[in-house]
Structure 1
């Protein structure tokens, strides 16, 4: 995918279809880095088939989250990868495997625990969620999150270290796949509860 195409991505199904097509092409000959830590996408990886409306409904029900249209369009188009990610631990240990882009239904426990981790790390209790109307968050990949009530913003949330990641879900996903260097390194105050102080 060319950089000019990246800047035109929105949350439509056609944008996610473009990402799907270009990423599978990109992964045909992708090479794992020996000195890298963290999960990497295996050569020849492909996206799994998108979800039906019935599966989407069940997905939301199990998480008790109402998905915005951007997230629905993403999962209508693709649902995680057909191969696990590989972590070679910098070439210093055994190879580990795990999911990269979270899928339904396999990764529901991971999605739930990742949300809980961020809430605990930022001391966001159920009472705070109710009293201050804290928006729901959804991890779509590792520690990348879509802010549910502001579907034009994705954040990288590692504990209470939070930065703006993408201007919308499709751009956030493309950034992780193609590494365009588009990210604006803007830290987010965790006490702002995700997106109240983001200056776009």
Structure 2
């Protein structure tokens, strides 16, 4: 994906469809690096997006109302047809797991990721409502969509939290196409609770 296309992304269905198309082309010839951590396998394709009924059930199971951006993402694609692989630096047994989380297969992983971050930041589920803390939702590894207005993407590894992207589509594209050199201005409207934990 070119920088121009990246910068033009928004959270419309068209943007997620563009990411889907270009990522499947990109993955046709991708090669695994000798490193630790899950990587996308060559030839991976996205699973079919969710129906409105499935989306409703997904939200009910999470006890969350998804923002339109997350709904559009899952309307377009729902995880990958191949598991991600960890080759342990090329020195060990291959391990497999999920990177882009899907419904319903990864409900337990999604919930455990949320609980881990909340516990690491000493927040209970009750605190989210009591103190009006925006909910978080992991869609890829340790990348979380912050349910705020406007929405932001944070990289959250326990209490190690950094700003990642100002919208969901850009956060997804940044990881798929390794566009890490693109620097975006941290949105000043991130709720103060999570803002205080950035770059901790």
TM-score > 0.5, shorter chain as reference = yes
Show CA shifts across 1:1-46 (max 9, x none).
Answer: 1111001100000000000000000000000002x11000000000
User: d(CA) in 1 for partners of 2:136 and 2:150?
Assistant: 10
Distance in 2 between the 1:123 and 1:161 partners? 13
Q: SS at 1:194's partner residue?
A: helix
Query: What does 1:22-171 align with in structure 2 at a 5 Å threshold?
Result: 22-34=22-34, 36-150=35-149, 152-171=151-170
The aligned length equals: 194
- 1:68–1:151 Cα contact (<8 Å) kept: no
Q: Name the CA distance, whole Å, in 2 between partners of 1:91 and 1:151.
A: 41
In structure 2, what is the Cα distance between the partners aligned to 1:109 and 1:194?
24
Tell me which moved more, 143-152 or 104-113: 143-152
Q: Does the CA-based 8 Å contact 1:164-1:184 persist in structure 2?
A: no
* Structure-1 residue corresponding to 2:173: 174
What is the CA RMSD across the aligned residues, in angstroms?
2.0
Q: Distance in 1 between matches of 2:185 and 2:159?
A: 15
CA distance in 1, matches of 2:183, 2:109: 26
1:118/1:160 contact within 8 Å kept: yes
| TM-score between the two structures when normalised by the length of structure 1 | 0.91
Give the direction of change, closer, same or farther, for the CA distance of 1:112–1:90 in structure 2 (3 Å limit).
same
In structure 1, C-alpha distance between the alignment counterparts of 2:8 and 2:185, rounded to whole Å: 21
TM-score by length of 2: 0.91
What 5-or-longer segments of structure 2 have no aligned partner?
none
Unpaired stretches in structure 1, ≥5 consecutive residues: none
